[in-house]
Structure 1
Amino acid sequence: MTVTLESGPAGAGSIDDFELFYARRALDRFRRRLGRQGLLDLLAADIEEGNAFLREGARASGGVFKAGTTVLATRGLSSSAFMAWMEKAFAGDEGALLAAHPEHYVMAPGADGAFNVVENIGPHVCSLYMGGWGTEAMAWAVDADELLPESEYPHKMSSNLFLADGTVVGRALTQFGDTADGFSASLTVYVPAACPQDVLEHHLRHYAVEFRNWINAAAAARA
């Protein structure tokens, strides 16, 4: 069955566009009303269950991860401009970071320089921490099969994804390089090898949604 909008609204867009606008507006309202701690309290049982899932996946995998990569092509914005926006957002604009995906619940600095992210990993709500490029724990990134040439992708970020108890439950490697009319983003996520394939698949979709929205936000900030 097909439903087509024939007349009525004066503004441009499809019914899907209208629904997305209202869904984002409603979600933003609930996030603001609840606040960070309210969201954490609301999702406490889900986080406990999700973290237990990842912890068991890491144990069963024995330190082995499987990878997937989402690639985005951007026109009209340089990689350096996007990275500058990202640095500013991660330094303290949690609202901009949360707005990029419906399943972002917390994105804020944690203890010891780590960054706390509460979001879905597949169907599971998890509370993760991210480290930074250049530390000893990141030695894996130097030899990663997914590492692209520095000359083409000079902007790189990598991290381990770990739970509050230190259990490493994933990895991330993001790489950005300019093209003739914009830039290319290579976004790789690593999940425990024992995790179901749909966990990896959904995070590749997650990457596509959040980075497209961050890129759009970066472009809007320059307009």
Structure 2
Amino acid sequence: MPVTTHDAIDTYIDGRLVAPAEVHSWESRRASAVLKKLTSRVGKLAMADLLPGVDLSALNTTDAQMMRDLLVTVKLHLGHAGLYAIVKHELALSERIARIAVAASRGGNTYSTIRLVVPHCSASQFGAWFDGLTATNAEADMIGACPDHYLLRGLPDGRQEVVETTGGSPTATRFLVDYSSGEQVSVPANPDYPVQIAGQAVLDDGLVIGGVRHQFRDLDGAMEAVLTVEFPRLFPSKMITEHRWHLATEFGNWITAFQQ
């Protein structure tokens, strides 16, 4: 099977085919922002220890793979405890905002959705590979897909812990994805898409703050993916629109990693 490069993936946002350069540009901006945040939070001496021999002032931030590798190295070396500490104030604030948004939305939801078309790719094989990331706890692969991923790991109970910056939010958010609760996600399953990845996003006390339903099928020699994240209805619209670029970045990188 031929390998599809990231640039060969057709990404549709709001029905518009966006150029690969637009996705790369978004990822580059976010990678620079996250590196700046990490450097500010831990200090230059700590960054020099985490990245020996790397001159942060001379980085080519448009080199996407180099930036991915660099950020993964920093995050893995900091470890879960270090990352929790770096974003602890953000997590406390974002949890309060999420609880308020859920209460104010009164059960209403809004959605961030994109569509991908990937030549020479199998929907069932990609779905199995993606499920395996959580099952095998492949943290480097999970956090490396998007600069805004701080921590993604599988938990012993089968759920996935996520610490990430969602869309255009100024703060990181922590939640758990329960993939056993996919039937409760408000996005309906389309029977034309036989491969489904769905689950509710919950806080530690079980409060549902959102969900995901990612749907895949084979179509004319390609894989078509409709990727949707569910948010409380009163979440800021900027977060909803910006999260489409987050989806395009992470799934573009995951699909490329799968095929390589």
TM range (shorter): 0.7 to 0.9
Aligned to 2:199: 159
* Matched ranges for 1:125-204 at <5 A: 125-133=172-180, 135=181, 138-141=183-186, 144=187, 146-148=188-190, 150=191, 152-204=192-244
Match for 1:49: what amino acid?
Answer: L
* Secondary structure of 1:184 counterpart: strand
Comparing 186-195 with 22-31, greater Cα deviation is found at: 22-31
Number of equivalent positions = 199
Query: Structure 1-normalised TM-score?
Result: 0.82
For residue 109 of structure 1, what is the aligned residue in structure 2?
Answer: 154
What are the Cα deviations for residues 26-54 of structure 1, in whole angstroms up to 9, with x where unaligned? Answer: 21221122112211121111111111111
**1:14-163 equivalent positions in 2, closer than 5 A:** 18-91=62-135, 92-110=137-155, 112-122=157-167, 123=169, 124-133=171-180, 135=181, 138-141=183-186, 144=187, 146-148=188-190, 150=191, 152-163=192-203
Q: Deviations over 1:118-164 (max 9, x none)?
A: 1112313111111124x4x73355xx4x532x2x3100122111111
Question: How far is 1:19 from its partner?
Answer: 2.9
Unaligned runs of 5+ in 2: 1-59
Kept in 2: contact 1:132–1:138 (CA 8 A):
no
1:22 deviates by 3.2
Identity among equivalent pairs (%): 27
Distance in 1, Cα, partners of 2:242 & 2:104: 21
Structure 1: 4+ residue segments shifted above 4 A: none
Secondary structure class of the residue paired with 1:23: helix
Is the contact between residue 185 and residue 211 of structure 2 (CA under 8 Å) also seen in structure 1? no
Structure 1's unaligned 5+ residue stretches are 1-15
What displacement does 1:112 show? 3.7
Q: CA contact under 8 A between 2:215 and 2:225: conserved in structure 1?
A: yes
RMSD of Structure 2 on Structure 1 (CA)? 2.0
